[in-house]
């Protein structure tokens, strides 16, 4: 999850909210690729989740990365909660999931090199300590009461609120991992088309990257339990955003939706102030109960935008949020898939042609079926396997048009489309086969 944002000074005009998004528009030659992935740390002798503090811990890894590789610490209340270096940052999810938010890069080859370098650095510190990291969409065995709690004020507030507004919020916070990519847009119209394609095809990404068929030590009946969790979290801030496909969609329409999402907090002087359930619209009028008489800044608005969690979301760029974390090839393959679709106009137009006839019921049905059945799912007469085959082919064409040889990074998705099997299917085959129902081998098999 996001660290405190730096959006700007006082909000003096309502138009600044939409203009904040519009300011992210860039000419095509400035478009970049920002990849984020989360991973679970575990202790090799006990297979317990990695604690925050101690000789074998997140803090120990942070200390090693700072001393050996020049990362700079980010602190909250005296605790190191993240690292920054050269436009990239390492941050912590609520249960200690270790996240790399990469620098804005020009190619998938650069994303591959950045990801490999990060994992090499982390392993050089973690391996001697008996620590490994696994790439899965959900923790396969750990219970909620086993998970460490990171020392971040934002998460303390969210944990209580999640328990009151949905059924799966704390599962998302403490026991899931994703990989996502952040991509640029050229204009309001370009944002709208990309967001529509991103949301409509997010079930394809969920299916292709599904890697969480186990939870609480047993089968959960889904290929992506992480995706299932998002459907039971908080309907006010999640989902497939039907309004995005309506006439009149633009920066202001998205702002209107975000304004109606209840607040979590306001960040002031290094502390998170409880504003749970309060209204940003009231904040704009100086009537926020948490800070009576005070008006928000653009940094407050930027923070609030990080507390909405639809399948794809907009800030000053678009985030594709539908995929489980997986192995190295899938971590790099996720940005390749979306860059191929989004950064070539012909591929983007063709992708929109694939999905523009879907109604809201079909889009939501595909979202559900992707989490349950992966590529075998279907809804509204649309088979996810067929849709994935078409989308991967378009992405391949789009990457080829970039002329950088990035198509090779689609190999995991090409293989899944050919076989109809994704990571979750392979884990299930092991579980029912040579593992004989024992999840112990999964820790090593899924290690990054």
d(CA 73, CA 80): 6
H/E stretch holding 372: helix 360-373
Q: Are 284 and 295 in contact (CB under 8 A)?
A: yes
**In order of start, what are the domains of the chain with their CATH numbers?**
15-445 (3.30.590.20)
d(CA 38, CA 202): 18
pTM given for the model: 0.95
pLDDT for position 373: 98
First and final C-alpha spacing in the chain: 21
3-state secondary structure of 34: strand
Could you report the per-residue pLDDT of 24-67, keeping only the tens digit for each?
999 999 999 999 999 999 999 999 999 999 999 999 999 999 99
DSSP 74-134: EEETTEEEEEEETTEEEEE-TT--EEEEPPPBS-HHHHHHHHHHHHHHHHHHHGGGTEEEE
d(CA 43, CA 49): 6
Could you report the per-residue pLDDT of 365-415, keeping only the tens digit for each?
999 999 999 999 999 999 999 999 999 999 999 999 999 999 999 999 999
H helices of 127-262, in order, are 153-165, 169-175, 188-208, 225-230, 251-259
For residue 327, CA distances in Å to 112, 303, 319, 320 come to 12, 30, 20, 18
Task: Pick out the chain residues at pLDDT < 50.
Answer: 1
């Amino acid at each position: 999850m996001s660290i405190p944002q730096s959006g700007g000074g006082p909000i003096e005009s309502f138009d600044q909210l939409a203009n904040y998004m519009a300011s992210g528009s860039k000419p095509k030659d400035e478009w970049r690729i920002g990849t984020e992935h989360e991973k679970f740390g575990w202790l090799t002798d006990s297979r317990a989740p990695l604690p925050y503090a101690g000789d074998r811990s997140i803090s120990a890894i942070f200390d090693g990365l700072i001393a050996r590789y020049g990362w700079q610490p980010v602190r909250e209340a005296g605790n190191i909660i993240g690292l920054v270096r050269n436009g990239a940052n390492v941050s912590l999810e609520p249960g200690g999931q270790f996240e790399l938010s990469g620098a804005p890069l020009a190619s998938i080859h650069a994303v591959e090199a950045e990801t490999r370098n990060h994992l090499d650095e982390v392993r050089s510190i973690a391996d001697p300590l008996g620590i490994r990291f696994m790439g899965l969409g959900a923790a396969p065995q750990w219970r909620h009461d086993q998970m460490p709690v990171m020392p971040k004020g934002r998460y303390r507030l969210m944990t209580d609120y999640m328990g009151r507004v949905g059924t799966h919020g704390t599962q998302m916070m403490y026991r899931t991992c994703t990989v996502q990519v952040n991509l640029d847009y050229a204009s309001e119209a370009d944002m709208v088309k990309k967001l529509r394609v991103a949301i409509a095809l997010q079930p394809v990404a969920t299916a292709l990257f599904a890697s969480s068929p186990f939870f609480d030590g047993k089968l959960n009946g889904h290929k992506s339990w992480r995706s299932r969790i998002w459907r039971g979290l908080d309907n006010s801030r999640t989902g497939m955003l039907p309004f995005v496909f309506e006439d009149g969609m633009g920066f202001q329409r998205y702002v209107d939706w975000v304004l109606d999402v209840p607040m979590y907090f306001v960040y002031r002087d290094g502390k998170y102030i409880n504003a749970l359930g309060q209204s940003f619209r009231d904040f704009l009028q100086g009537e926020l109960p948490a800070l009576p008489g005070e008006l928000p800044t653009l940094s407050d608005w930027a923070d609030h935008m990080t507390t909405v969690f639809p399948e794809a979301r907009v800030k000053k760029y678009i985030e594709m949020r539908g995929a489980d974390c997986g192995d190295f090839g899938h971590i790099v393959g996720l940005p390749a898939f979306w860059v191929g679709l989004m950064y070539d106009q012909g591929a983007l137009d063709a992708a929109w042609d694939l999905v523009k006839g879907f109604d809201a019921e079909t889009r939501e049905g595909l979202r559900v079926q992707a989490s349950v059945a992966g590529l075998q799912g279907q809804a509204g007469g649309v088979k996810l396997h067929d849709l994935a085959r078409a989308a991967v082919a378009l992405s391949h064409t789009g990457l080829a048009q970039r002329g950088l040889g990035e198509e090779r990074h689609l190999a995991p998705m090409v293989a899944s489309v050919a076989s109809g099997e994704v990571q979750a299917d392979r884990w299930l085959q092991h579980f029912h086969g040579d593992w004989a129902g024992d999840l112990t081998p999964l820790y090593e098999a899924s290690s990054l």
